[in-house]
Amino acid sequence: MSLSSDMMLQAHHLASVDRGRPRQANLRRAITSAYYSFFHLRVSESVRRFSPTTPAQLAHRLSRAYVREEMKQVCKSIVVGNPNLVLAELQPQGFSNDLPFVAHTFIELQEASYLSDHDLSAVSTRPIALKLVERVEEGLRAWRHVRARDEATVFLTALLLAKKWAR
């Protein structure tokens, strides 16, 4: 099973493990696990497409090159329908409905994960945590529709290189 799949199982488990009133720690970790499931799937798909299998360390180095904030900016540009010039050039016909959904899911979960990890005054509930976990599952289903298309390759490449393209 992939790390992404394992993290989704963990997110489900943590969101529903407590009987009665759930522990905030479990709900917060459920949200963060769901986000990282989605994050790691993007990175692993990219590495699988762009890195040779040898030397093995190359794939690890490539996976460490992704910057969450830069990934978020690429996603925002796709969600608002205002991709940078290189994205527009590489995908002149625009993006399907599925890819903006994937991008929006990434943004939504990244922000929820940040709040869960850093805002000690934020209180989560089981319905909120379960809704976010379900949102990732919807995003994963949308990604399965996109992943074989050229737009997926453009998107995955942009997640790594968009800031460099802007120079």
Q: What is the pTM of this model?
A: 0.91
Lowest mean pLDDT among 9-13, 48-52, 84-88, 156-160: 84-88
pLDDT in tens, 16-27: 999 999 999 999
Q: According to the model, what pLDDT value does residue 89 have?
A: 86
Q: Is the pLDDT of residue 84 over 80?
A: no
pLDDT confidence tier of residue 139, bands split at 50, 70 and 90: very high
pLDDT confidence tier of residue 56, bands split at 50, 70 and 90: confident
Q: Which residue from 138, 102, 134 is spatially nearest to 12, judged by alpha carbons?
A: 134
Q: Is the pLDDT of residue 101 over 90?
A: yes
The rounded distance, in Å, linking the Cα atoms of 5 and 20 is 27
7 touches 132 (CB < 8 A):
no
Q: Is the pLDDT of residue 162 over 90?
A: no
Q: Is the pLDDT of residue 164 over 90?
A: no
